[in-house]
Amino acid sequence: MRVDEIKRMLVSQREEMEEFVRRERIVPRESENNIMNLMSLGGILAILGVRRSGKSILSWMISGRRRLYVNFFDERLSDFKSGDFERLLSAARQL
């Protein structure tokens, strides 16, 4: 995947998620503040839960515009390979 294709996909994913959040009634949760406190400690954060429990929305809400959010279930990434991560990071930096 080329960097310009990745950039278009990242912009598209952000626009789709912003539209979803605007359209749906998203209820703020207490856990957002707890997670933000955990994130300030550094390290890796894993968000686990049953299917359709709101993990993606929670991830989006806490990431805001400060962090990169990538939906790897996007069909446009079906041929994404480990070698594409550098291009992904390059595209994110350029955006």
- 4-28 pLDDT tens trace: 999 999 999 999 988 988 898 887 7
Count structural domains, the chain: 1
Are 35 and 62 a contacting pair, CB within 8 Å? yes
User: Which domain range does residue 52 map to?
Assistant: 3-94
**Alpha helices for 24-84 (secondary structure H):** 31-39, 55-63
| Percent of all residues in the chain with a pLDDT value above 70, rounded to a whole number | 97
What global pTM score does this model have? Answer: 0.75
Is the pLDDT score of 48 beyond 70? yes
- The DSSP H or E segment spanning 13 is helix 3-23
Residues 6+ apart with CB under 8 A from 53: none
